[in-house]
Amino acid sequence: PAILFDLDGTLTDSGEGIINCVLPALAHYGITPANRESLRYFVGPPLRDSFLKAGVPAKKVEEAIAIYRSRYVPIGMFENHPYDGIRDLLAELKSRGHQLYVATSKPENMANAILDKFELSQHFDLICGATMDDTRDSKDKVIAYLLQQIGHQAAVMVGDTSYDVIGAAAHKIPTVGVSWGYGTVEDLSKAGAIAIVNSPAELLAALAE
């Protein structure tokens, strides 16, 4: 089948850069988190949802996103690295004839820049992300857009959060969860992941099944 990959927390460990950009945005509104670890929930979901969860007033969320992106675009998105084993996993899947895609709620231009930077783009047939105007801002909308481009073929999603599982399920696509990202095994299981793996090697074996 075709394989759809989430980006943040699945292909690359982007937490450092995201949190480094969240902190000044929250500070602008006088919000002080308990610690950096408490902001892990910002990795993966749409920024709007996460800033609301952090306590930013709804009418200030767009401003908070602008403050975040003022650092993220030039610096934060490259405070990031592919997880160990991901390069080999993608190369092996391509050698087996799979079509590989990225479906991320990160803005598409940023996703492309990150994947180009880490020389991962060549493994993917198509990279789909959110739009800057928020008309395509959730995982299910991104997957819907991707399916419009490639047609509704047999597919499986790979992701680290319940957002991936739920977004894929909206299109009757099963999800294999990965435990090395920013979601929890419990949340992945509750959302309906068909399997949860602990390493790229385990993921390769699960996809082969």
Active site residues: 6
**To which residue do tokens 């450092």 refer?**
16
The rounded distance, in Å, linking the Cα atoms of 22 and 156 is: 31
> Token digits for 22?
């969240």
**To which residue do tokens 């819907």 refer?**
144
The rounded distance, in Å, linking the Cα atoms of 132 and 134 is: 5
Q: Which amino acid is at 155?
A: A
The rounded distance, in Å, linking the Cα atoms of 79 and 19 is: 10
Supply the angle between the helices 15-27 and 47-54 in degrees, to the nearest 10: 50
Residue 22 three-state SS: helix
CA angle 114, 125, 90 (to 5 degrees): 70
Q: Which amino acid is at 39?
A: L
